[in-house]
Amino acid sequence: MDWYPLINSVRIAAISCVIVFFTGIFAAYYAARLPRVLKGFLDVLLTLPLVLPPTVCGYFLLMLFGLRRPFGMFLAQYGIKFVMTWYGGILAAVLTAFPLMYRTARGAFESFDETLAYAGQTLGLSDTFIFWRIRMPACRQGILAGAVLAFARALGEYGATSMLIGYTPGKTATISTTVYQLWRTNNDALAFKWVMVNVAISALVLTTVNMLEKQDRKAAAK
């Protein structure tokens, strides 16, 4: 059994999770401070990939990074190609996983007691110190849950990934695209094994999220 799809899926999910962790946190933090109308518009824009079909997200990525598109041709001049490359899967995973991180982090920040930040300001603490040493620790359970969900979403991404990087054994294959290709070629036994691998990882992710939520409830009850 070739384990490349698992290795490739995990590295794509891990890299994309790091990216959406920081971008999602800062987008949620600054969006929460915007006026209501602008906040609503930005919220719709940033959450849109969550409700769009993944194939539509993949279509937009192809329109931007396709080798026959202006931006894609520009990048290709410098040897950067996201189409039919494993690292192109990172773009697909980031696009589809970002809304989960953003919305979870936004909810965590909105539940934060702002009087703690005001108290820090009266003591002369900088906004950076307050963010990292007061706000983030207070919201850590929700943020960690968002990161775990984003990782799981990136790990199981199929639609946008298949459109942008396709399926090439040993190069771009992921768990999801491998399952489809094995089913397509009537290799149900091996496809079932990969399905079980995906189910096991997903169950582990959900267990982690439940544990984080339980800790969050215990902390809130104190």
Model pLDDT for residues 110-160, shown as the tens digit of each residue = 888 888 888 888 888 888 898 888 888 888 888 888 898 899 899 989 999
Are 20 and 124 in contact, with CB atoms under 8 Å apart?
A: no
pLDDT of residue 141: 82
Q: What is the DSSP letter of 198?
A: H
Distance CA 129, CA 118 (A): 13
Distance CA 13, CA 156 (A): 9
Confidence of residue 102 (pLDDT cuts 50, 70, 90): very high
Distance, CA of 175 to chain centre:
17
Confidence check: pLDDT of 40 > 60: yes
Tell me the two tokens of residue 184: 């397509």
pLDDT > 70: percent of the chain: 95
Give the 3-state secondary structure of residue 191.
helix
Distance CA 1, CA 66 (A): 33
Tell me the two tokens of residue 145: 């849950």
Confidence check: pLDDT of 220 > 60: no
pLDDT of residue 208: 80
pLDDT digits (tens, 9 = 90+) for 2-19: 899 999 999 999 999 999
Which residue has 């909105």 as its token pair?
A: 110
